[in-house]
């Protein structure tokens, strides 16, 4: 299908005029809840907008983005495995993207340029604030993939002391070097370090659906009662880590708040209004996770 044929097809779908269009792309997009939250905001604020799920395999990422830009989309969210490809593609990088080395929010500008931001880190910090967690804190982050660098950058910028542990140490070393701060802890040593931490952040796949179970209880038994435990995944919402933390009497923070808060800047850029992260939206998303 040519771009002109695609434009004609869209005009047939929207005979009263095109809504503002945005979407999320990744490969695959099995678990994303982004269309639910963005379309909820469009309905709540009476915005003539539509946010779509747009899977693009790695070989078609750039062509797909260029086609969506030509079709009049306002921009895209980008998730695994395209965040680094998006960083390479955009014309203008925000400070958050430069710090994270990745882009999760693309805005198509009127001059044909694409700007890129990474809102994962700010979304994570906002989720802590929403949960009443005061910063700075002495923080231990597990994992050096995906969103870890963005989270680490935001924690450092918030004044936190950072220790990072990853199975492959070289990846943790690379993040600490790129960010200019933090210490690397050997993977086998992080349980002992936990006794002096105020905040534990799990960015690994431990506890995600389809992954091997991990017994967090013996590790958390060494933690101080002041420790706050967070897991950036939201599938499942109550991960084994969070369940073990609550059983130990520790405060646990799930990944749904980060998902909601990282979405707000993109929605503001595409649809012209900064949305509220309210309890009704969270309840709506929780319904879809059951």
Q: Quote the CA–CA distance of 96 and 262 in Å, as a whole number.
A: 12
158 and 180: one domain? yes
128 and 243: one domain? yes
Q: Quote the CA–CA distance of 40 and 95 in Å, as a whole number.
A: 29
On the question of a cis peptide bond just before residue 236, with omega within 30 degrees of 0, the verdict is yes
**CATH code, 271:** 3.40.50.10860
Residue 138 bears catalytic tag: no
| Residue closest to 200 by CA, chosen among 240, 248, 163 | 163
137 and 16: one domain? no
Host domain of residue 84? 3-118+258-289
Helix, strand, or coil (residue 158):
coil
133 and 243: one domain? yes
Q: Quote the CA–CA distance of 143 and 140 in Å, as a whole number.
A: 10
pLDDT of residue 256: 97
- Region of residue 251 (left: phi > 0; alpha: psi -120 to 50; beta: else): beta
Residue 17's pLDDT band (boundaries 50, 70, 90)?
confident
- Per residue in 28-70, pLDDT tens? 998 899 999 999 999 999 999 999 999 999 999 999 999 999 9
Tell whether pTM > 0.75: yes
191 and 144: one domain? yes
**CATH code, 173:** 3.40.50.720
The residue annotated as part of the active site, out of 83, 113, 209, 222, is 83
102 and 218: one domain? no
Domain count, the chain: 2
């Amino acid at each position: 299908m040519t771009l002109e044929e695609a434009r004609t097809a869209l005009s047939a779908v929207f005979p009263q005029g095109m809504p503002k269009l945005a979407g999320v792309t990744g490969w695959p997009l099995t678990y994303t809840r982004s269309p639910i939250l963005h379309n909820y905001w469009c309905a709540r604020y009476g915005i003539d907008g539509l946010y779509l799920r747009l899977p693009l395999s790695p070989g078609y990422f750039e062509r797909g983005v260029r086609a969506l830009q030509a079709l009049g989309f306002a921009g895209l969210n980008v998730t695994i495995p395209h965040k680094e490809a998006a960083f390479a593609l955009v014309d203008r990088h925000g400070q958050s993207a430069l710090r994270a080395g990745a882009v999760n929010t693309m805005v198509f500008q009127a001059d044909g340029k694409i700007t890129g931001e990474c809102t994962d880190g700010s979304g994570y910090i906002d989720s802590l604030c929403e949960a009443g967690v005061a910063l700075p804190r002495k923080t231990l982050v597990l994992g050096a993939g995906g969103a870890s660098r963005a989270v680490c950058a935001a924690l450092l910028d918030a004044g936190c002391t950072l220790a990072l542990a990853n199975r492959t140490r070289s990846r943790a070393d690379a993040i600490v070097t790129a960010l200019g701060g933090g210490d690397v802890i050997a993977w086998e040593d992080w349980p002992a370090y936990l006794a002096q931490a105020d905040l534990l952040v799990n960015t690994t796949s431990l506890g995600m659906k389809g992954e091997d179970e991990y017994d967090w209880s013996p590790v958390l038994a060494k933690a101080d009662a002041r420790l706050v435990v967070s897991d950036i995944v939201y599938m499942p919402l109550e991960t084994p880590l969070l369940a073990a933390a609550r059983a130990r009497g520790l405060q646990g923070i799930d990944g749904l708040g980060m998902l909601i808060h990282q979405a707000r800047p993109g929605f503001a850029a595409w649809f012209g209004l900064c949305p509220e992260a309210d309890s009704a939206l969270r309840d709506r998303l929780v319904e879809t996770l059951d």
